[in-house]
Chains A and B, each alone.
Chain A
Amino acid sequence: MGCVGLLNPVALPTIISWLTYSSLLSMMALGVTLLYRTTKVANFAHASLVTSGAYVAYSIVVVLHPNPYLGVPLAFAVVGGLGLLLFYGVLEPMRRRHSPTVMLMVATLAFDIVLFGVLNILADYLASTYFVPSRNILLSSSDFTFMGQPGIFFVAVGVLSLCSVVLYFLLNFTTLGIALRASMENSSLAQAIGVNVTLMLAISWFAAGGLAGVSGALLPMWTLVNPNTGTVLLASMFCASIVGGLDEIYGAVLGGFLLGFVDVVGTSVLASSIGAWIAFYEPAVPLVVLAATLILAPKGLAGFLSRRRK
């Protein structure tokens, strides 16, 4: 294989790119998988939730001019709040009426559209009031460098690791986490033994929103962001979740890194061997990976790995 070739210095940027992209994608996919496990719903609003994180962070930068990374905690809180809003304002009333899952999905799609409109309005507002570009925003110039690599690489990987550790600790060693897992496995049973399932769901929506917000806040440090960036990334988020396996939370990280690898490294390798024109089809990569996964390992990587263990 071209393994030796991949390790040479020319390929290092590709590796860095892969790891950065995958870290961000995994954060998004974590939210998607978490929501699917708890609420059994594919959250189409994740697209705009991610974009919201980006614009919240950007707004802070525009208004207060701090270090762009300081926008991250605020993005976590705000988008987490948006997640809560979606849950309590839209999904919970529907769940109380026993709406079928498909309708819940349509509701998230509708919420996504409203949020998309709001983000555009925000973008217009920023542009006209602060005289800054609010589309195709890119903050990478404000990034620090460390060991010759862009700071975002370290931050993205670092934040993902932190989130994963916190999530792992939370789910396995705290009462809250155990209650959360109970709700995921069997919500009616959990309810019967006294778990406040609605609260658990609310927490997971806040957490998923927060994760989306954080990944979104970090996006402008790495790539151009527009109000529709989240929409463009949605297919990749879902692919990462499915490829990793929706049955396990950590599947999102597996999927994120696998998909990121094929997407970034794969396209790069193909482009240099077949020709640059193939880069045009890069958006099709998640779909091809998804199709392959569904045929070869329908339960995703996590499912595949757990089956082999048996």
Chain B
Amino acid sequence: MTLDQVILFTVDLLALFSVYLIISLGLNLQQGVTGIPNFGLVLAVAGGAYITASLSTRLAIYLLNVHTSLDPIVNNVTVLQLVNPILRSSPWISIGLLILFLIIGGASGALMGLISSAPAIRLREDYLAITLLAFGEILNVVGTGYDPLIGGPAGTSLPDIFGWAGQYRFYWATLIMLLVAVMLFVYIERLVKTPFGRVLKAIRDNENTAMSLGKDITRYRMSSILIGSILCGIAGALWALYSGAVTPSYDRLDYTFLPWLMVLLGGMGSNVGTAVGTLVFVTLDELIDYFKYSFAPFLPFNVVWLNYLLLGLLTIFILIYRPEGIIREKWTSTPAARPQTGEAKPG
């Protein structure tokens, strides 16, 4: 591989990593920290992607004062031809819109989180996992059937908010996405270390005892799902904006199973572990994708299926031989160090 190819590969990888990191952090908060098995992450991710996509062109024409009688979804290509030049000429307007769209993505995630949290009030473990999995399926049904959302099976395009960077758009896009991911990482890491985070872990470890200590279990569980879903919604919106278009094809494999694999790989409960697991996994996945065509002559089957086989087998391997993942959850220090020892334990 030439240097240029390496750079391209890395940039691609980092973009994918950013999006998956955010989703995985959302999952880790729910499952690793609070013990809520959310097998329906795709609901929040797709929610963020579809709703942001749906509103993006509409808001763009409204805010940028573009006058058109065309439908922003049905005629999205034509409408965007009016919108994109404005965006390309001004980085500030583009970034402004980006922030707005991310907020919408987060809000959509929150809405999906509210839907997901309803069964979570009474159900636990298996029942909850199955229910959330089933709920996750609904958005693609709506996306495909309800045209005004994202134009049905054909999907819709989004405004080109990275267009201002010209030939460097992928570099800038990746940088911005990475920035958002890092900010969210810092936020979640700090949140988990607060007394609030401590209660979440307590609920995970022993719900009855937490109850006996006066904690409102329902409120904490809902908060956890809500925050996790907001993160997933933001990730969905980011990916939609980066890709430039959405189709109702955000599936369970990509957005529920893979994040589970990443969090498992890195070590449930630890945000740092989640980040490591995500990085390792995304790198592996990209490498497989990149090199699989060179394996093609040696494989008796179509390389397209290689990902499924390898990822599934990898997950099984980890679950049997190293279920704690790469990084074990560190016993987090308490924010107030004890005066006698004069040092805080690293965590």
Contact = CB atoms under 8 A, between A and B. Distances in A.
A and B touch in the complex (CB under 8 A): yes
B138 A105 contact: no
A238 B253 CA distance: 18
Interface size range of chain A in the complex: 35 or more
Contacts of B144: 280
Contact of A238 (B37, B134, B261): B134
A106 B134 contact: no
Contact of A117 (B131, B134, B308, B319): B308
Given A101-B126, A287-B134, A290-B134, A114 B320 contact: no
Contacts of B131: 242, 290, 294
B311 interface: yes
**Which one of B122, B141, B304, B312 has the highest number of Cβ atoms from chain A below 10 Å of its Cβ?**
B312
A284 interface: yes
A239 B138 CA distance: 13
Contacts of A40: 126
A116 B311 CA distance: 12
A228 to B, nearest CB: 9
B232 to A, nearest CB: 18
Interface stretch (A2-10, A68-76, A90-98, A165-173): A90-98
Contact of B141 (A42, A107, A231, A283): A283
B251 to A, nearest CB: 9
A121 B323 contact: no
Interface string A108-120: 0111111111101
B316 interface: yes
A113 B320 contact: no
Interface in B120-139: 122-123, 125-127, 129-131, 133-135, 137-138
Contact of B133 (A110, A238, A280): A238
Contact of B308 (A105, A114, A290): A114
Interface in A270-284: 277, 280-281, 283-284
A114 B302 contact: no
B291 interface: no
A242 B130 contact: yes
A154 interface: no
Contacts of B1: none
A103 interface: yes
B319 A109 contact: no
A97 to B, nearest CB: 7
Contact of B305 (A42, A121, A284, A286): A121
A93 B320 CA distance: 6
A281 B141 contact: yes
B130 A102 contact: no
B244 interface: no
A246 B131 CA distance: 13
Contacts of A102: 31, 37, 125, 129
Contacts of A106: 260-261, 264, 315, 319
B313 to A, nearest CB: 6
Which 5 pairs, one residue from A and one from B, show the smallest C-beta to C-beta distance?
Answer: A117-B308, A280-B145, A114-B312, A110-B315, A113-B312
Interface of B: 31, 37, 39, 119, 122-123, 125-127, 129-131, 133-135, 137-138, 141-142, 144-146, 252-253, 257, 260-261, 264, 301-302, 304-309, 311-313, 315-316, 319-320, 323
14 contacts: A105-B129, A106-B319, A107-B315, A111-B316, A114-B316, A120-B302, A120-B308, A121-B302, A121-B305, A246-B127, A280-B145, A280-B146, A287-B135, A287-B138
